[in-house]
Amino acid sequence: MENVKFGNSNLNISGKTLEGSVALVTGGSAGIGFGAAKQLAEAGAFVYIVSRRQKQIEEAAARLGPSVRGIAVDVTNKEDLKRLAETIQKDHGGLDIVFANAGGGRPIALEELTEGDIDHLLGVNIKGVIFTVQTMLPILKDGSSIILNASITADMGLPGFSVYAATKAAVRSLARSWTTDLKHRHIRVNTVSPGVVPTEGYRTEQKMTEEQVSDYAQRVTSEIPVGRVGTPEDIGNAVVFLASDSSSFITGIDLVVDGGQTRVYQGKN
Ligand SMILES: NC(=O)c1ccc[n+]([C@@H]2O[C@H](COP(=O)([O-])OP(=O)(O)OC[C@H]3O[C@@H](n4cnc5c(N)ncnc54)[C@H](OP(=O)(O)O)[C@@H]3O)[C@@H](O)[C@H]2O)c1
């Protein structure tokens, strides 16, 4: 314990910075989770990806290559997560990185929001994140890095997304509290807050057509200083940074990865 430090000061965010590390990415069969798993594996980590549907998660792992394994897990189910922790412990002896990413939401008018909608959103976006981190704690090595996926909606009003946005504000808050809860184990906890990243979820969860996604991406681009929407790999790069020793003096923060969208005035001059 005495020798465990918050990483080292070897600044190198390119190349195989995560060689020898073992990572878990929840919601890894699609979208941001898939992109993050790709970047983590490219940085040298062995990556476990999980999501609910077995066929999709196994296919995703096969696409990502031999240093990625896919396992069917529902993050709202503690028994699934316990089995996962046992498997990781048995096969790799523990974990160095957790990216609790599984989640999502769709626009629902306040007047139409049902109890079932609220339970679903809180279930996957908050309970699922808590269960993931809590269940992995016994196998997380001292000095490891936990990254939670929040969202820029945590501090922006967005029509129809009030409960979703509130769950993401909760995720940011969990990270700050866990930073103190886990400091005796030198475990860092940070969040990433993606901006607009058109993923499978826009079609499956938000029920947008291909054309609607492309129109939306085009419209929103004028609000983004870097002049484009985000990709899952953009978020993956931020996750690799927060997972690596290059960020060893960073904990408890929210890293906004939105091309500057929420950093600039969006009104008309
Ligand atoms: N895309 C954006 O613009 C954006 C912006 C800000 C934040 N985010 C956040 O980024 C995260 C990923 O979003 P995304 O756009 O990449 O979503 P996505 O394309 O819909 O992918 C979601 C992934 O999560 C899995 N998943 C859903 N519920 C799960 C559960 N209960 N247990 C395990 N896996 C589950 C899905 O697979 P199964 O359905 O097979 O389980 C899938 O692999 C979410 O937390 C979202 O809120 C996204």
> Does the beta carbon of 49 sit less than 6 angstroms from any atom of ligand 1?
no
Domain CATH code at residue 156: 3.40.50.720
In a domain, 32, yes or no: yes
**Which ligand 1 atom minimizes the distance to the CA of 104?**
47
For residues 242 and 188, give the distance between their C-alpha atoms in angstroms, rounded to a whole number.
9
Q: How far is the CA of 50 from the centre of ligand 1 (A)?
A: 11
Q: How far is the CA of 169 from the centre of ligand 1 (A)?
A: 17
**How far, rounded to the nearest angstrom, does the alpha carbon of residue 78 sit from its chain's CA centroid?**
19
Report yes or no on 264 lying in a domain.
no
Catalytic residue set: 164
97 token code pair: 């990185």
* One-letter identity of residue 76: T
Tokens found for residue 201: 């979820």
266 inside domain: no
User: Angle, to 10 degrees, between the axis of helix 232-243 and the axis of helix 31-42?
Assistant: 50
Residue 268 located in a structural domain: no
With respect to residue 14, please indicate whether it lies within any of the assigned structural domains. no
Burial annotation 226-257 (CB, 10 A radius, 16+ → b, else e):
eeebbebbbbbbbbbbbbbbbbbeebbbbbbb
Q: Is residue 11 part of a domain?
A: no
Q: pLDDT for 154-169, tens place per residue?
A: 999 999 999 999 999 9
Q: Residue 265's pLDDT is what?
A: 92
* Atom from ligand 1 closest to the CA of residue 194: 6
Atom 14 of ligand 1, residue of closest alpha carbon: 31
Question: Locate tokens 């290559």: which residue?
Answer: 65
Residues of the chain with pLDDT under 70: 1-14, 269
Residue 96 token pair = 């160095």
Angle, CA 153 vertex, CA 149 and CA 156 arms, to 5° = 150
pLDDT tens digit string along 101-134?
Answer: 999 999 999 999 999 999 999 999 999 999 999 9
Cα dihedral 101, 103, 107, 112, rounded to 10, equals -150
Q: For residue 265, how many other CB atoms are within 10 A of its CB?
A: 6
Atom of ligand 1 nearest to the CA of 201: 20
pLDDT at residue 267 in the model: 82
Residue 268: per-residue pLDDT: 73
Domain that holds residue 120: 22-195+230-257
Decide if 262 is inside a domain: no
Within a domain: 218: no
Ligand 1 proximity of 246 Cβ (cutoff 6 Å): no
pLDDT in the model for residue 3? 43
149 Cβ closer than 6 Å to some ligand 1 atom: yes
> Which DSSP helix (H) or strand (E) runs through 26?
strand 22-26
Strand partners for 146? 98, 189
Number of domains comprising the chain: 1
